[in-house]
Amino acid sequence: MIEWNNGIAVLTLLTPFPVGDVNIFLIKGERLTLIDVGPKTEAAWESFKSQLKELKLTPRDIEQVILTHHHPDHVGLLDFFPPSLEVYGHPLNERWLNRTDTFFEEHKEFFHRLFVEFAIPERFFPYIEAMKKTLKFSCNRSLTGTITEGDTPPGLDDWKVLNTPGHAQSHIALWRETDGVAIGGDLLLATISPNPLLEPPLPGETERPAPQLQYNASIKKLLNYPIQCMYAGHGPEIRNVAELVEKRLAKQHERAMLVKSWLEAAPLTVFEICQRLFPAVYERELTLTISETVAQLDYLRSLGEIDMMKDNKAYLYKA
């Protein structure tokens, strides 16, 4: 049963991804706004329409879409809407929505370089091309306009944008001060910690971002806001935001310290650390487990706990 709660309705759609369902949100503002849309599948579209019907709405009633971030499970279904629909999001969504050959080329070169630096054996290099596979559930279009930190999105006078990079470089959250409600996208999830995914350097830069450091800063930033209820992109809404932030930070610190203890015994490559952290899944989920591994190393380096040296073409880390 879908219902309105303080002008917000939560719809839940199936995704073809291991994460399971995705939540998308309708907000009754000056304009009827949809926050995220779900993956590009027929099943998601049918389910979306039938959930709208419960609210006596059709897709034509949606006046605009705001994206929390660019991942296919949040944006793909845009391709089922008329191209005239207005879509707003952080500027860094654009390179993932309106994908150019140049971006694909940069993406490929970036990951190829990383794989070499991480000492990943060549038999895993086909994973680089395979990263594109999930994009078939994404959309192909441009943003109508961009929104970023401190902005009030069009048609949503009570809401403010918070930049919250980490899980994605394009990630934002929305915050309504009047009643302490936030829409967090994948920033904080009740039962799992979102992956700090590696992305190529931002336009005009040469160094890659350090997503775990960004992520930690983004969730710490939430502590400055008296959030009563934060809706999440996956799973139930979160009412104990501060407690969950502390828990996530502590758990990540603990994992990093485990890695540090290994590096006290011997220098290791990223791939060797990844195998130790994720012995059961690294082969199947190489890109996710590598991101999670690099996250610990970026974190330890930011604390000055470990050093990185180049050994031939690969990096070796030591405490």
Closer of 40 and 71 to Zn ion (Cβ) = 71
SS3 labels along 236-276: CCECCHHHHHHHHHHHHHHHHHHHHHHHHHCCECHHHHHHH
Closest CA to 235 of 10, 6, 22, 2: 22
CA distance 63 to 70: 20
One residue of 15, 23, 41, 71 binding Zn ion per CB under 5 A: 71
The DSSP element (H or E) to which 98 belongs, if any, is none
CA torsion angle for 67, 68, 74, 78 (degrees, to 10)? 0
In angstroms, the CA 139 to CA 85 distance is 13
CB of 67 to Zn ion, least distance (A): 11
- How big is the chain, counted in residues? 319
Sequence-distant (≥ 6) Cβ neighbours of residue 209 within 8 angstroms: 165, 169, 199, 201, 202
**Minimum distance of Zn ion from residue 309's CB (angstroms):** 33
CB of 209 to Zn ion, least distance (A): 15
User: Judged by CB, which is closer to Zn ion: 153, or 166?
Assistant: 166
Which residue of 36, 94, 151, 186 would you call a contact of Zn ion, by CB under 5 A?
Answer: 186
Number of residues binding to Zn ion, judged by CB under 5 A: 2
Mask of contacts with Zn ion, 40-59, x by CB under 5 A? --------------------
Q: Is 151 in the site for Zn ion (CB under 5 A)?
A: no
71 or 160: whose CB is closer to Zn ion? 71
Q: Which is nearer to Zn ion, 186 or 298 (CB)?
A: 186
Least Å distance, CB 282 to Zn ion, is 21
Indicate the residue whose CB is closest to Zn ion: 71
Amino acid at 67: L
Minimum Å distance from CB 235 to Zn ion?
13
Contact residues for Zn ion, defined by CB under 5 A: 71, 186
